[in-house]
Structure 1
């Protein structure tokens, strides 16, 4: 027996709204065809959009130091200096 509830391959077509709501809430399913598992629609991990000021400060304390000269050299080596230059085609 599988850990996730099993649905048939026709269920997403016939009960799509119900299934999407359940997936959004964090539940995943095993999709079966002829009694054999063929796939698992799973919820995507939600990413936070913002980091609090305290979290940013804590992360910054442990971040490695940046050498400005090396950083600038890396930018100059990879950046296109004249992105709109019509002669550079």
Structure 2
């Protein structure tokens, strides 16, 4: 990941729409005041979109079938079968 561009407090004030549009597109900035770094403007993570029950059902219909026996075999192959006593010293 490359370095974030630095912008001055004045640039932020004078070009706020342009800068905020860039942040919305995923760009990050380091904000400076009098030559010192004072903060960062970073995009928020996108919130997960709600998937309706009907949409989930439609996607599920085209999903491949899962073999329950193969699933259990995969779990058994990766699970730690040793029983640890959490109170053992």
2:56 aligned with 1:53, yes or no? yes
Name segments (4+ residues, structure 1) moved above 4 Å: none
1:30 & 1:7 partners in 2: Cα distance? 6
Normalising by structure 2, what TM-score?
0.54
2:33 & 2:47 partners in 1: Cα distance? 33
The offset of 1:11, in angstroms, is: 1.2
2:17 aligned with 1:17, yes or no? yes
Task: Give structure 2 stretches of 5+ with no counterpart.
Answer: 61-89
The CA RMSD over aligned residues, in Å, is 2.2
Secondary structure, in 3 states, of the residue corresponding to 1:7? strand
The offset of 1:48, in angstroms, is: 2.2
Q: What is the number of equivalent residue pairs in this alignment? A: 55
Task: Give structure 1 stretches of 5+ with no counterpart.
Answer: 57-89
